[in-house]
Amino acid sequence: MNKKDVDIITLQSFLDAPDGRLFIGEALKHIPFAIKRFYFINQLADSQAIRGKHAHKNLEQVIFCINGSFDLGLDDGRQKWNIVMNNPAHGVLLKKKVWHTMTNFSPNCVILVVANDYYDENDYIRNYDEFVRYIGE
């Protein structure tokens, strides 16, 4: 991974041993936008599952792996990165126009995503050739 080209957000955390660790993210502070939507993904029973495989025209998101691990593949049309997501304090900013793929899920993996806008299927580019054409325009 070329760290300077991927924005990693590090959450503050407090360990209250043995009563757990608390992680905090605040909109417009740690998260670089006002949050309009969040979603999470669990029950990733099939380690061969592939999620994502799309880019967004305008949406920006921050993705966290709050339990377990997975591999996040990013592709902005010029460079490709693979980031092993295994630290719940680390969020990756998914900028607009970045093709992203999630693979290699651990059985206990839980993914949390915060987004700067509501769900809009028209904002998705789900075909890779179309993505390449779109970013070339």
Tell me whether residue 21 or residue 80 sits nearer to ligand TYD (CB atom): 80
Query: Pick from 13, 84, 119, 130: which binds ligand TYD (CB under 6 A)?
Result: 119
Query: Pick from 30, 33, 52, 90: which binds ligand TYD (CB under 6 A)?
Result: 52
Query: Does 77 help bind ligand TYD (rule: CB under 6 A)?
Result: no
Asked if residues 110 and 66 have their Cβ atoms less than 8 Å apart, the reply is yes
Closest separation in Å from C-beta 17 to ligand TYD = 34
Closest separation in Å from C-beta 126 to ligand TYD = 8
Is 54 one of the catalytic residues?
yes
Query: Does 73 help bind ligand TYD (rule: CB under 6 A)?
Result: no
Tell me whether residue 39 or residue 47 sits nearer to ligand TYD (CB atom): 39
Cα distances (angstroms) measured from residue 12 to each of 15, 26, 72, 83: 10, 10, 22, 20
Query: Does 39 help bind ligand TYD (rule: CB under 6 A)?
Result: yes
SS3 string of the chain? Answer: CCHHHCCEEECEEEECCCCCEEEECCECCCECCCCCEEEEECCCCCCCCCEEEEEECCCCEEEEEEECCEEEEEECCCCEEEEEECCCCEEEEECCCCEEEEECCCCCCEEEEEECCCCCHHHEECCHHHHHHHHHC
Tell me whether residue 54 or residue 95 sits nearer to ligand TYD (CB atom): 54
Residues that bind ligand TYD (CB under 6 A): 37, 39, 51-52, 54, 119
Which residues are the active-site residues?
54
